[in-house]
Structures are given as structure tokens and as C-alpha cells.
Structure 1
């Protein structure tokens, strides 16, 4: 059985197929039969009343899987049409064998033409597989766009045609599936970048390749889910006191941005940090804690003594910098102060979280530190890499690894399918929803991660647990009313659910 958390590259899937063939008389055709059977069964389960099926087949093995689906549907007495893409009328290898078995059935086989979309109830996308590298070109692009515009239900074979298996990028055109049946293992591009808009519901079938096969190919990236965090969040000892759970110092809050630092600080407290302090602009320091007196507020001015500021840094277990920091002189001075401190003997041991404008300022003066977490969104990641947002989104895995290589520590690249990596490990967290596209969500995530690190959780684990809690809290917040309400979700709506999630032994 495949590792249900493993995220495989297209090349690794090919390796698994070849290993299967090596141990099964050199043939991969049984995998094609099982793949087609898995899609057919899913098709019947999803749309039990369907009557007319259109299977659109390309010339490769993806099309061969489609031939199997069509044959099984025809044998069940369902009206089915196979629309052949250019080149698919002369398939090779396993696909040729599947095509030969299809011909004696009642399935109608003809070249693609757009009128077929009007005559069928559901579409099986077996056009392009996992091998695409460049932009989808005509006539494939035009046909894919016609299928998308038809608004007919679509089930994709292995991966939506046009979605890049290794990255989740869409290069030109791609099928928007209602459901995708992925074979052997999850392709890593199916859980990040544009994938959520194209895969629909994702079903995975390992095609009974055998556990021994999967033991020979180890994925480099893995899905991470909240339930894997439970052992880090055990109930506290009855004799515990606040000194056991660390002290978070959050630095930020330039004029006009008091909310950012307030949200980050409260998130750290709700996550369980023993103490939380903020170092913020003098405009905010006297009022920031009025509605949350548990937060200790300190003023940072140009005239503040270096000794006083350093004492705050030394008292902290974890320092989070960036929420509402700004890029003006005030924020730059605080960055310089922290960087100078982190060069000292005591500072080199300090754990830090860098977010928002701290990342933008870091991009101006790159330096490498291992004991920290960076939490960029794609725009900030592009600046860190002196690149473009589009380039980051084309390959979020590589972008995350490149940031780690350049800046050290742990990188958490935010977005749909958050990627977390250090020098040795890589995880993807898919929890969350579009309601999180609102101001302050990143500040809350920074506070969660800092709060977890303050309680002794290592940076990589704190980052992935924090991302999982953040996403799960947002899911609870939009579903608590009994109906899904994503629009209008606020960052502060997550606080109640964060507290529930960091206490998994309590009744959620």
C-alpha cells in the first residue's frame, strides 16, 4: 500500500510502475486495467443515474486508461462514446492493447468534435497524463477550454489534463474536474499552487502495487495534517506554571498597524505561551493592552536605550518580528537591533519567527540563520529570491527550498497548499479555505508558530503544526453555524478554535 501522506513526483510514479513490471512478468498492463476500473467504479458511484458517457482519450497511457473505462461502461450496457484526440487513433504499448479490447464492444469511437459535448451527460478526461512539461498547445488547449466551458461534470483520469504533476502549475489550459482519481500515489502538484481549483475531490488508488514496491521509492515531501500534532499537545502537568511555557516577544506595530501586532500577540497567548510581550511604537504601547491586559506592552522609540531593548530580547524565549513593522526608519532600526543581537553569543541561541515587513527588509540585506522560521506569502518569497510571484507559483517546492538554502532555518510558504521545509524535510498542509484571504491571517499564524516554539516545540514542527492549526481553525470557524460561510471570515474569528485545537484532549 502507498504511503497515504507521500507526495510523489511524476518520475517517482514511473519508477514505481517499472518496479511493478519487474516483479510481474515485465508487464504494466494490469495497472492500466485496474486504473480504468477504479475510474469506472468512481464514475458509477458519483453519477449513478448517468446515461451517456463521453471519454476523451489522448495518445498516451492516460488515453489507454480511458479506453478501459469506456470498455467497462459499454459492457455494462451504458451508451458511451470515445472521442479520439489527434494521434490517439494509433496508440502504442499498453494503450494499444486496451484499444484492441475496446473495439469489439458497443462503444462508439470517433475523432473529437465539439458537438459531442452536447450529446453526453458526463465527461471522462483521459487526454493528457503526468508527462506534460511545457505549455499546452492547440488543438489540445482549444479542446480543453471547450470542455471547461461546457460545464458538464468531469472526472479526470490520474490528473486533470494540463495540470503539471510536479508543481501544480497550469501552463495555458487545464481541465477543471469535479473529481480526480489519482493512481499509485498522490502527485505532489495536486496539493498546492493551482491544484485546488482544478482537481475537485481527490481520490487515490494505489492499484494494488504491493507494499514492497513502495518501500523502494521514498517521496521527499509529505502531507501533514492536524491529527499528527496530537503528541506535541499532551495535557499539562497539574503542577505547571507560566515559566514552563516560554515567553514570546512580538516586535512590530508601526503607526497605523497596531492591529497586526495585537493579533500576533494574542495568537501566541491563545496557543499557550506562558508570557507574551510586545515591543511596539509609542503611539500604541499605552493602549494596545486595554482589551487584552494579559499582553505586556513596551515602547520602542529612536531614543530608547539599547540596554533596555536588549533586556527585552534576552528575556524572551522566542522573538517574532514583522507584524505591522513597516519599512520606514522605525522598522529598519528594529531589524538592525535584532540582527545585531542575534550575532551575540546569547542571541545565536534565540529562536525567531520572521514575517511580513521583516521579510521585505531581510531581502535587502540577506543573511543566514538556522534557528528561525520564515513565513512568506508568494510576494514576499519573490522578493527574498529576487524573482517574480509568477515564478514562485510555478514551482512552490523549489521556491521554498531555495529560500531555506539562501536564508537558513525553516521556510513556510503560505498559500493554497502551504509548503514547509528545512534542509532535510518537506511537508504540505492543505487545511484552510478561501475565507482566509483577509487581513491579519498571517499575523495570527506568526503568533501561533511563536507560541508553539516558546513551549519547546522545534522550529520545523512548530511551523507545520502551526499551519495545520491555523487551517483547521479556519475550517471550524466557517462551518460552526451548520452551513459553510467563508466570505467575511476575520482573523480574530480563529481565536476560539485555536484554543480548542491546542487542547486536543478536551472535548472539541
Structure 2
């Protein structure tokens, strides 16, 4: 599965262009609005089959128009519908006015929004603000969003939860927390990363008969990672495979007093299939490594001079877990940079790049910053990174080269072919060592010959799916980084059937 076959994601301006081209091609704007509303209504009946009453909150534009048409459809099916308006019907124009008149003709009442207005429906429909929003939500819209969020009712958002930025996933002051969102024509990048993960709920995409893929000049802003990517890069091994075929990864980390991070990375690397895994760590951590994971070849390193030829004997280097920013870590990172091997750089390896190796730029490394580390790499604040995660990921790659993994909700991978977004993962991953496990996974994939950008995408995907699998079995709270390796091992063997398994016995 190549990037071109992954589901595409678009920016709001691109989706508006798709909408415009569909209209030029002969689909009337109001017909598109009716298609969108019908798709939303069908999802509503499927997802909330017991609901007998709705409150539809309608804004002033076409997003509000979708709400008006949905209100008409619901009334025609016998549901009780409360329609709340931010803008009076007489002030509406174009398709939005046609939609509002359609709801009125269907017998749906219309009430102006006012603070303290009682929301009567069992289900709330958010049709307040669409994808054109690019400034902070204010006034009546903010009041209505706050009322929705404090209602305790389930919410269906039309196209996008009001208050979210369609391109960045950032919350623009206040945003609806939806139970489900149905989006149209082109899936939006901003629905999959950052604050959006707390607001979108279940996401459903409906193309409405518009073929975005047929518009070759509209290059997607990103692609959505899918589980099928695993089997395309990790087929069953040949029966004659030996450890030399599967690569040698060296983990460099674990400064004095920080041995756990490097050991987590080494164990994940081994579980993900690296033929040989070496660990260069402070001498006092070697016994713990041999006790926990004797398959890892642990080397006690008092400083960079003790590394000798070890970095050059490996196929890939993972540097950063437990590295520290003192002289030990500085020397080890310098040796790794000089070894001429592909690199995965994480944690204090990233911090040292900023403070000690700021002129370095490479094409053969994967950098894996969280937002705080990304801010240091870019010379900005973490809040600025989170305000536009896609732009930050692309800027990191432009500045530092290689492939960049911007971690967080909706992890982003920026590489030569553009952006990819991971829709998996869960809040249980908010615990120490998760990044170390990811670094080890990435090292294992690179050691087995997966190309740099594909390894980054695949590693992020496996890491997140392993956490989801672990959470499904035992819950999110208490999920530990050390739990992931065994689940990830299951995921990277997706095509092994009974016959293949029998051949290994």
C-alpha cells in the first residue's frame, strides 16, 4: 500500500474548490446541500435510532443550510424538531435561504438563539459554523457552543464541530464536543490531529458523489495511515531467513541513572524483529539489561571513547532514550552522528541537537519530537506548535531534513512525499517511556530494510495500534510502555497463517 492508495485528507480551501467544480460540472449547489443533509440524516437514524426529538442549531451560512434541510427531513419522519437560529431567516441568502424556507414549509418552527435558551431535543445537531472559520469564535456562536457542551446530550456535528479549524485541528476559543461528526466531499486534515481528537467523536465521511481523486491537480494535504500498510511492508519471512538478514540495531542511551529508557527501546526493537540488538549504556545498567532481556547485547560505556567501532558495525542507530544532556550524552551523540549510519533521534538527543549540533541537517534520520521538543527545534513555543501541528511538522522537516514524527494526538509524519496522519492511539499512552518504545520500533523497522519514510509511518502506526490493542484488553489507565512490545509483535505478523506458523515449529 503506497501513499497514493491511503485515504486522502484535504484543506478547507481545497474542499471548497471541489464543491465549486462539482457545481460547475452540473450539480446545483442546493442539490449538494440536500445530499449532505440526507447523508447526515441517514447517519443520525443509524447511530441514534431511539431518538424522537432534535434540537438543530443553525448558523448563517451553508453549514446552517445543511441543518435546516436536516430539520425538514426529521420533521417529515415524525420527529419533534426544535430549530434555533443564530441569524434570522429574512437575513439569509442563496442556498441557505432556500434550505431555511424548506424547513419552514415542512412545519418546523424557528426560534432565535438567546442565552439561557432551553435545548429541548434528546439529540443536538451542530450546524453552526463550517470549514471557513479561521478566527476565534465570539458572541452568540460562542454562547451556543458553550450551551451545547454543557447540555450533557449527545451531539451530531455537520461537516465539522463548530469552533475547530478545519486545516489545523486547533480549537478557536470554544469548540463543540461532538459524539459523532459527518463530513462531506473531502475529508479534512484538521479533523484528525490536535484538539480535534477531543471534539470530533466518531468520524464518518460521505463523498456525496464528488470524485476528489479525479481532480489530479488538487494534491491532498495529507494521507491517513491505515492498518493495511503493515502487511504491505512486512510480508512473511522466507523460511531460510537468518539473523544477519534482519539487521543489526544499536541503541545508544541510558546515561548514569537513566537506564530504563534505553532498555525499553532495546526490548521494543528486539520484539519488532531486528536480527541483532545491541545496547550501549552506562556500565551500571548492564546487569539490569541482562536480567530483563538477555537477548540484547549490552555494552557498558563510560564515555564515547568506549564505543570504538560499535556504531559502524550496526545497520541503524537509535540515539536519545535516557541520553541526558551532560558530557556522556554529548559524546555519545557526537559519535552517532559521525558513524555514517541511518539514525533515529529522540528525547535528549533532540535537545542536544538544538544546543550542541544546531548546524546539522541530514536526509537519513528520523526525528521524533513531542510538541515541547518540536518547539525547541523550531525556536518557538509549544503553544505555537499545537496551534498548527501540520505546519510545524513540515517546518521541522524543512529545517532538519530526513523524516519528522511530530508526536501527540493525531501524530504526524512529515517526509519527502508530504504529510501522513495516524488516527489511532489513546490517552493511555500518556505515560513515561512511550516515546522510547517508539524509537525502538523505528530502529527495528529500519534494520529490516524498510525505507526511511515508510519505516516512520509504519512505526507510528504499529505503536498506536499496539496501544489500542492493549487498552482494549485491559483499559487505558495503567498502560505501560513496556506493555506495547508484545502487542506490537502480533501486529507485525499479520499475514502469518496456520501453515506458515506450523513451518516455524
Report the TM-score range of the alignment, normalised by the length of the smaller protein. over 0.9
Going from structure 1 to structure 2, the CA distance change for 1:502 and 1:11 (only over 3 Å counts) comes to: same
Match of 1:486 in 2: 476
Write the deviation string for residues 218-249 of structure 1: whole angstroms up to 9, x where unpaired: 31310012222202111111111111111101
Instruction: Select the residue among 7, 15, 31 that pairs with 1:5.
Output: 7
Cross-structure match for 1:246: 247
Aligned equivalent of 1:316: 314
Written as runs of structure 1 = structure 2, the 5 A alignment for 1:57-456 is 57-86=58-87, 89-210=90-211, 213-302=214-303, 305=305, 309-339=307-337, 341-342=338-339, 347=340, 350-364=341-355, 365-366=357-358, 367-456=360-449
**Runs of at least 5 residues in structure 1 that lack an aligned partner in the other structure:** none
Checking the alignment, whether the CA contact within 8 Å between 1:225 and 1:431 is kept in structure 2 is no
Structure 2: distance between partners of 1:185 and 1:210: 9
How far apart are 1:89 and its partner, in Å? 4.5
Contact kept in structure 2, 1:405 and 1:423, CA below 8 Å: no
Call closer, same or farther: CA 1:199–1:338 in 2, change over 3 Å. same
The Cα of 1:114 is off from its aligned counterpart by 4.5
Q: Distance in 2 between matches of 1:47 and 1:203?
A: 14
Equivalent pairs, count: 493
Give the whole-Å Cα distance in 2 for the aligned partners of 1:21 and 1:213. 15
How far does residue 358 in structure 1 lie from its aligned partner after superposition? 0.2
Q: Name the SS for the 1:117 alignment partner.
A: coil
Secondary structure of the corresponding residue to residue 505 of structure 1: coil
TM-score, normalization by structure 1 = 0.94
Q: CA separation of 1:405/1:175 partners in 2, compared to 1, >3 Å: closer, same or farther?
A: same
Do the aligned partners of 1:59 and 1:89 also contact (CA within 8 Å) in 2? Answer: no
- Rounded Cα–Cα distance in structure 2 between residues aligned with 1:230 and 1:167: 30
| Superposition deviation, residue 171 in structure 1 | 1.5
The question of whether the paired residues in 2 share the 8 Å contact of 1:19 and 1:213 is answered with: no
Structure 2: any 5+ residue segments left out of the alignment?
499-505
Moved more, 92-101 or 54-63: 92-101
- State the distance in 2 between where 1:86 and 1:3 align: 42
- Aligned-pair RMSD on alpha carbons? 1.8
Q: Secondary structure at the match of 1:80?
A: strand
The Cα of 1:213 is off from its aligned counterpart by: 4.7
Partners of 1:58 and 1:87 within 8 A in 2: no
Q: Give 1:49 deviation, angstroms.
A: 2.5
Q: Is the 8 A contact 1:57 1:63 kept in 2?
A: yes
Deviations 1:61-95 (A, max 9, x none): 00011110011112222221211103654212211
Task: Kindly indicate whether residue 6 of structure 2 is the aligned counterpart of residue 15 of structure 1.
Answer: no
Q: Give the TM-score, by structure 2 length.
A: 0.94
Contact 1:10 1:187 in 2 (8 A): yes
Q: Relative to structure 1, is the Cα distance of residues 426 and 61 closer, same or farther in structure 2, using a 3 angstrom cutoff?
A: same
- C-alpha change, 1:88 and 1:166, in structure 2 (3 Å) is farther
Inter-partner Cα distance in structure 2 for 1:421 and 1:5: 16
